[in-house]
Amino acid sequence: MIINDLLSHTSEWLRSTGPNSDIVMSSRIRLARNLDKLPFPHWASKKQSENALQMIEGVCSRVDFLKSSTVFKLADLDNVDKQFLVERHLMSPDFAQKSDNRAVIIDNEEILSIMINEEDHIRMQVMQSGFNLVEAWNIISRIDDDLAKQLPIAYSPEWGYLTACPTNAGTGMRGSVMLHLPALVMTRQIDRVLAAIAKLSFTTRGLYGEGTQALGNFFQISNQISLGLSEDEILDSLNNLIRQIIEQENQAREVLVAREKALLEDRVSRSFGILNSARIISSQETIELLSMLRLGCDLNLIKSIDRRVVNELFIITQPAHLQKLKDKKLTSQERDLERAQIIREKLK
């Protein structure tokens, strides 16, 4: 597989096939692991990082789930390639900033990605469409067991898995769910919900994880604490929280339809009109308008557009994707022109 092959493939987080996929875009389980007796990546020498990369890459090639996967060395990728993988949620923005002795392993279905020599030696994640944390955990747990049989993993009987950041120690596990919450935003309940989430020791981030803003009414919610909890306890608490948020978003949507239907229809129609006619449009405006269009599809206010088309537009209108589709680098203005044209064609 080469990077350009991913252009014709639907990312797992955009399939809209899982449970509660009208509100939950995707579920993700991430595990942090380190090699025993080797410094964490930020403190490792160039030779030590190289040894870690070679050791992990060699073992991964023997794991059954990874037989149909590809290793991408960051040193071999240009900036557009790296941003492309960030936009597909296959690696973190911070990971893309440096290239020495870093690699990402991606399976052909884009369910699994493994970043080597990020903050930890191994940062692996499994994505599932919709509200499906348990299945994501089942998959990544099997892969983790296979790796542990062949790699010396840093583990303490007292502290659990040892990680570069103390908040990840213990299970080394982060569960996260990407939610689309336009009704809670429109009814001005979102601040109250986010404040309650923070009090329960969960964290809220934007579309691309840590350090990003909540554009397009998308919120990524994950556990903050890993130490002192089992994997099942983390899953149970996150599942319970997400169920409550889904219920609140559904109630807010019902209120909008019952009491503010004209306003709701106007917002959706205006968004559709702009997307369907604009000749120049920015990435941020596109995400905001697509969010309203997606809500219109979910509430049957727009019946001519399939939600999967809207989901596809979320990804292919991002800067690196546009440049990949045109097979050349584009200026900001050229991207705004190309983005508008693609949207008009897709919405016909």
> Which of residues 16 and 309 earns the better pLDDT score?
309
> In this structure, what DSSP letter does residue 102 have?
-
Nearest Cα to Cα of residue 42 among 95, 81, 113: 95
Three-state secondary structure call for residue 170: strand
Closest listed residue to residue 281, CA positions, set 333, 322, 346:
333
- What is the average per-residue pLDDT within 148-156? 94
- pLDDT at position 211, please? 47
Q: Is 220 exposed, middle or buried (0-12, 13-18, 19+ CB in 10 A)?
A: buried
**Would you list the domain boundaries of the chain?**
3-253, 260-347
Question: Which phi and psi (to 5°) does residue 69 adopt?
Answer: -140, 170
Taking only the tens place, the pLDDT of each residue in 188-241 is 999 999 999 988 889 888 765 554 456 779 999 999 887 788 999 999 999 999
pLDDT of residue 206: 74
User: For a pLDDT cut of 90, what percent of the chain falls above it?
Assistant: 76
Instruction: Please state, in angstroms and rounded to a whole number, the distance separating the CA atoms of residues 219 and 176.
Output: 10
Kindly report the CATH class assigned to 3-253. Answer: alpha beta
Q: Is the pLDDT assigned to residue 94 strictly greater than 50?
A: yes
In terms of C-beta density within 10 A (0-12 exposed, 13-18 middle, 19 or more buried), how is residue 244 classed? middle
Which residues are CB-neighbours of 179 under 8 A, at least 6 positions away? 23, 24, 25, 218, 219, 220, 221, 242, 245, 246, 249
Euclidean distance between CA atoms 268 and 248, whole angstroms: 21
